[in-house]
Amino acid sequence: MNEIRQTKEYYTGNDPVKQIMAQQIEEECPLDPVEEAKILIVNKITKHFQDVMFEMVNEEMSKCYLFQTQNYFTEAGYEMFEEEWFEFYHHNHGDILYEVMQNITD
């Protein structure tokens, strides 16, 4: 479809098949190629940025005494309270990530 769209051959003449194809392409892909490319780039960068931010928060939390399991549990204790620790850690991870994102967008 992109080849057809880029050549604009589907707009020439009065061929009803080409007219139907042109209409279907416009309905399925209403954006022009530049807008589509910009959207793809933004989505790719955003996904990568979110992954990097997620990992950075993990790394910083692992350096903080409050978020290190070995400071609270033995291995047996960790197994016993694993779900609670998971919830505690990820709740705080989400709070930190949210605040970082807010600071970036402000």
State the DSSP string of 54-73: HHHHHHHHHHSGGG-GGGT-
Structure confidence at residue 54 (pLDDT): 94
Structure confidence at residue 77 (pLDDT): 79
Token pair 């190629």 is found at 33
Distance CA 73, CA 15 (A): 75
Structure confidence at residue 10 (pLDDT): 46
Structure confidence at residue 3 (pLDDT): 52
Distance CA 25, CA 1 (A): 7
Judge if pTM exceeds 0.75: no
Question: pLDDT below 50 — which residues of the chain?
Answer: 1-2, 4, 8-10
Structure confidence at residue 82 (pLDDT): 86
